[in-house]
Amino acid sequence: MSTTTARPKAADSHPTSKAARVLADRRLPVMVTAALFLVMYAAGLSRYQNYGFGEAQVFLNLFIDNSYLLVAAVGATFVILSGGIDLSVGSVIGFTTMFTAWLVERQGLPLVLVIPLALGVGALGGFLMGYVIHNFEIQPFIVTLAGLFLYRGLCLVISKESIAIGDASVSSMAQTQVSLGGAFLSIGAIVALVVLAAAFYVLHYTRFGRRVYAVGGNEQSALLMGLPQGGTKISVYTVSGFCSALAGLLFTLYIQSGDPLHATGMELDAIAAVVIGGTLLTGGSGFVIGTLFGVLVLGLIKSLIQFEGTLSSWWTKIATGVLLCAFILIQRAMTARRKT
In the chain, where the domains are located: 29-43+52-333
Examine the pLDDT at 26 and tell me if it is beyond 90.
Answer: no
What confidence tens digit (pLDDT) does each residue in 84-109 have?
A: 999 999 999 999 999 999 999 999 99
Half-sphere exposure of residue 79: CA atoms within 13 angstroms, side-chain side:
34
Please identify, in words, the CATH class of the domain defined by 29-43+52-333.
Answer: mainly alpha
Strands 163-164 and 257-258: antiparallel
* Higher-confidence position of 253 and 3: 253
Alpha carbon of residue 106 to chain centroid? 32
Residues 61, 183 contacting (CB under 8 angstroms)? no
Examine the pLDDT at 202 and tell me if it is beyond 90.
Answer: yes
**Amino acid 229: pLDDT:** 86
Examine the pLDDT at 192 and tell me if it is beyond 60.
Answer: yes
Q: CA distances (Å), 215 to each of 108, 228, 235, 240, in order?
A: 44, 9, 12, 16
Examine the pLDDT at 10 and tell me if it is beyond 60.
Answer: no
Examine the pLDDT at 119 and tell me if it is beyond 80.
Answer: yes
The H-or-E segment that residue 59 falls in is helix 56-65
Instruction: Work out the average pLDDT over 302-313.
Output: 87
What confidence tens digit (pLDDT) does each residue in 37-48 have?
A: 999 999 999 999
Examine the pLDDT at 334 and tell me if it is beyond 90.
Answer: no
User: Please, what sign has the CA dihedral across residues 97, 102, 103, 106?
Assistant: positive
The H-or-E segment that residue 180 falls in is strand 177-180
Q: How confident is the model at residue 54 (pLDDT cuts 50, 70, 90)?
A: very high
Amino acid at 335: T
CB neighbours of 206 closer than 8 A, spacing ≥ 6? none
Strands 257-258 and 183-186: unpaired
